[in-house]
Amino acid sequence: MYGAWSQRWGRQAAEIVLRADPRVDGVMCGSDQIAAGFIEAARERGLRIPDDVAVVGYDNWEVLSTETRPPLTTIDMNLESLGRTAAQHLFAAIDGRATPGVRRMPCRLIIRDSTAPAVVHERPLPASGRSSTIGAPPPVAG
């Protein structure tokens, strides 16, 4: 799915995703803003984060990721180092010392409270009244 990089889009995306499959138990969002909106909409539907739906953001925008309730698990791209490296390569290219190719930069997962180890529990599905086991493999027919 694609939309504006905003909390509003995160709320809209949550409605689309959760309407399509109320049993979704985890999402990875393209930014911390989208993730914050997703969390807000999921909580308005009565879902518990991370018990019912785990949410991961992207950016580690600490102003947002640490203030989201619960605090947001997110991917930190180490943008300061990324920007410094990009500037160094740009200046080298301007000086005639271009270095072509792909540069891989380290990132890290910042684990906060919007994710947790899988817990097996029953959750009623709003549309059908059935319940579904979340966090466990489906039963094996036999």
HSE-CB at 45 with a 13 A cutoff on CA atoms is 26
Residues of the chain whose pLDDT is less than 70? 117-142
CA distance 12 to 18: 10
Please state the pTM of the whole predicted model. Answer: 0.74
CA distance 97 to 104: 19
Determine if the peptide bond prior to 137 is cis (ω within 30°): no
In this predicted structure, what is the pLDDT of residue 46? 96
In this predicted structure, what is the pLDDT of residue 137? 37
Q: Please, which residues bridge with residue 76 across strands?
A: 108
In this predicted structure, what is the pLDDT of residue 120? 56
CA distance 132 to 136: 10
Q: What is the pLDDT of residues 73-98, one digit of tens each?
A: 999 999 999 999 999 999 999 999 99
